[in-house]
DNA sequence: AACACGTGGTA
DNA sequence: TTACCAAGTGT
């Protein structure tokens, strides 16, 4: 044991001491939260949960995971489902390309692996939507392979244990962290160890207000010893936020409203939305709606009134969305699509059957609260 | 290497 | 309110 004692009564350990791994595993076994995907570690369930968890809070994922597993219990069900149905199950979770990848990967797993998710990290890594993190997560959690996972939590925990001063974005850092984690991992305990590191990162070694008092491995932590915990990890790049104003139309005709489907490939690909667009410099939201509907759909409209102003954020854009109730003026015009792939006139009550971006969904809820007043 | 890709919580 | 941040992947 490579322990050294400090001058005081506390034992101080070094991160090179591999007993840190055993300590983390024991802590996890006592403190882990009961989660639906921690019941059986079925490869399919691990794949779906890990994909949902990419850049997404665990508390948000749980209900989506339960609903998905009820509806789509295996790989074949995903391959046979329509993209529209998958998007509906995903609505609100964000990063919708994950769904498209899930479906593509399901097709490959059926065709090439007989419906069995591969256990080999290299084979997993080749599947769409599975990067370094998810490949390692499936290989270790579902198949017991001794490979370390390095997600945002593991990165933060490792940066603090090592008191890593270089920016974690550096290409060298990732390798170094994976090697450190691999050294700490007790042989045969990858499932518990990997989850221990991530669970510790989310519950104890948090980005803000880390609970070092409650940390099972603080005595191994170089940043704790140095008092630099709040300054780790060091990060460099930062994107500037951009303010955007958008105006959309809830276009009514014969008791229906007009919705259109976004093209594949870009932002919110395959989701439905209300027509509209960016409000240009020196233009009012009202003018923008009229212009956008003329440009996008080739129709002229009359504004009946404002429905709501919604503030939200999409990637690095801060958006103010103005929504107006409109009718075709003159009536009887037929919209022609420009950027959208598909469009539909639907009764407001049917809006729940389509996948919308979250700001549009909020607008729909407002619409439905007001329904009966002026539809 | 750096940026696109969603969303909602926190300070 | 603005700004940062969170269980990443693809290009």
- Give CA–CA dist A188/A143, Å, rounded: 11
Residue with CA nearest C1' of nucleotide C10 = A129
pLDDT of res. A3: 38
pLDDT of res. A341: 85
pLDDT of res. A11: 64
pLDDT of res. A8: 33
- Which of A207, A231, A255 is where one domain is finished? A231
- Which of A185, A209, A231 is where one domain is finished? A231
Could you tell me the end-to-end alpha-carbon distance of chain A, in angstroms, rounded to an integer? 75
Phi, psi angles (nearest 5°) of residue A113: -120, 20
- Which of A175, A205, A231 is where one domain is finished? A231
How big is chain A by its Cα radius of gyration, in Å? 25
A103 within a domain of the structure (yes/no): yes
Q: Which position among A16, A18, A26, A50 bears the catalytic label?
A: A50
Same domain (yes/no): A168, A191: yes
If one counts every other C-beta atom within 10 angstroms of the C-beta of residue A313, the result is 11
| Nucleotide nearest to A137 in CA–C1' terms | C7
Q: In three state form, how does the secondary structure of A173-198 look?
A: HHHHHHHHHHHHCCCCCHHHHHHHHH
Range of the domain at A315: 242-373
pLDDT of res. A1: 34
- Give CA–CA dist A361/A353, Å, rounded: 11
Same domain (yes/no): A170, A266: no
Cβ distance A362 to A242 under 8 Å?
no
A312 CB neighbours strand B below 7 A: yes
Same domain (yes/no): A91, A168: yes
Same domain (yes/no): A206, A289: no
In tens digits, what is the pLDDT along chain A, a chain of 375 residues? 333 433 333 566 877 666 999 999 999 999 999 999 999 999 999 999 999 999 998 999 999 999 999 999 999 999 999 999 999 999 999 999 999 999 999 999 999 999 999 999 999 999 999 999 999 999 999 999 999 999 999 999 999 999 999 999 888 899 999 999 999 999 999 999 999 999 999 999 999 999 999 999 999 999 999 999 999 999 886 778 889 999 999 999 999 999 999 998 889 999 999 999 999 999 999 999 999 999 999 999 999 999 999 999 999 899 999 999 999 999 999 999 988 889 999 999 999 999 999 999 999 999 988 875 444
Same domain (yes/no): A195, A74: yes
Same domain (yes/no): A217, A264: no
Residue A85 annotated to the active site? no
3-state SS, residue A31 = helix
Question: A196 CA to B8 C1', in Å?
Answer: 25
3-state SS, residue A348 = helix
Q: Among A158, A157, A151, which Cα is nearest to A131's?
A: A151
A129 CB neighbours strand C below 7 A: yes
Question: A171 CA to B1 C1', in Å?
Answer: 9
A14 within a domain of the structure (yes/no): no
pLDDT of res. A18: 67
Strand A242-253 relative to strand A317-328: parallel, antiparallel, unpaired? parallel
| Nucleotide nearest to A169 in CA–C1' terms | B1
Same domain (yes/no): A89, A129: yes
Number of domains in chain A: 2
pLDDT of res. A138: 96
Same domain (yes/no): A257, A227: no
pLDDT of res. A370: 80
Residues A130-162 as b/e (b if ≥16 CB within 10 A, e otherwise) read beebbbbbbbbbbbebbbbbbbebbbbbbbbbb
- Give CA–CA dist A213/A192, Å, rounded: 22
A175 CB neighbours strand B below 7 A: no
Same domain (yes/no): A217, A324: no
We report the CATH number of the domain holding residue A365 as 3.90.79.10
A136 within a domain of the structure (yes/no): yes
If one counts every other C-beta atom within 10 angstroms of the C-beta of residue A123, the result is 16
Same domain (yes/no): A198, A273: no
CA angle A280, A282, A288 (to 5 degrees): 45
Same domain (yes/no): A59, A204: yes
- Plot region of A282 (φ>0 → left; ψ -120 to 50 → alpha; else → beta): left
A93 within a domain of the structure (yes/no): yes
A237 within a domain of the structure (yes/no): no
What share of residues in chain A are helix, strand, coil (percent, to 5)? 45, 15, 40
pLDDT of res. A372: 55
């Amino acid at each position: 044991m490579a322990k050294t004692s400090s001058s005081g009564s506390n034992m101080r350990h070094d991160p090179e001491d591999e007993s840190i791994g055993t300590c983390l595993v024991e802590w996890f076994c006592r403190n882990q939260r009961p989660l639906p995907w921690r019941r059986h570690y079925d490869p399919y369930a691990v794949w779906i949960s890990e994909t949902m968890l990419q850049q997404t809070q665990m508390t948000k994922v749980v209900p989506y995971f339960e609903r998905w597993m009820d509806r789509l219990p295996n790989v074949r069900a995903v391959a046979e489902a329509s993209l529209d149905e998958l998007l509906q199950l995903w609505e609100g979770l964000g990063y919708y390309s994950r769904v498209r990848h899930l479906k593509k990967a399901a097709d490959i797993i059926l065709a090439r692996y007989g419906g069995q998710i591969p256990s080999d990290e290299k084979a997993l890594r080749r599947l769409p939507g599975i990067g370094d993190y998810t490949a390692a997560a499936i290989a270790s959690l579902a198949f017991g392979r001794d490979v370390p996972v390095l997600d945002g939590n593991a990165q933060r925990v490792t940066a603090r244990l090592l008191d890593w001063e270089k920016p974690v974005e550096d290409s060298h850092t990732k390798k170094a962290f994976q090697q450190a984690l691999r050294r700490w991992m007790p042989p045969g305990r990858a499932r518990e160890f990997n989850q221990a590191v991530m669970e510790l990162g989310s519950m104890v070694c948090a980005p803000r207000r880390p609970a070092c008092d409650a940390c099972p491995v603080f005595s191994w932590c170089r940043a704790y010893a140095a008092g630099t915990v709040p300054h780790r990890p060091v990060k460099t790049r930062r994107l500037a936020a951009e303010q955007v104003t958008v105006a959309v139309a809830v276009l009514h005709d014969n008791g229906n409203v007009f919705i259109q489907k976004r093209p594949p490939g870009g932002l919110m690909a395959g989701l439905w939305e209300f027509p509209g667009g960016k409000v240009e410099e020196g233009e009012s939201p009202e003018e923008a709606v009229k212009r956008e509907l003329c440009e996008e759909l080739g129709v002229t409209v009359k504004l009946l009134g404002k429905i709501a102003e919604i503030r939200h954020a999409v990637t690095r854009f801060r958006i103010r969305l103005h929504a107006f109730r409109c009718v075709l003026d003159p009536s009887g015009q037929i919209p022609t699509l420009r950027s959208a792939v598909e469009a539909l006139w639907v009764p407001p009550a049917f809006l729940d059957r389509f996948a919308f971006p979250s700001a549009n969904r909020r607008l729909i809820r407002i619409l439905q609260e007001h329904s009966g007043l002026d539809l």
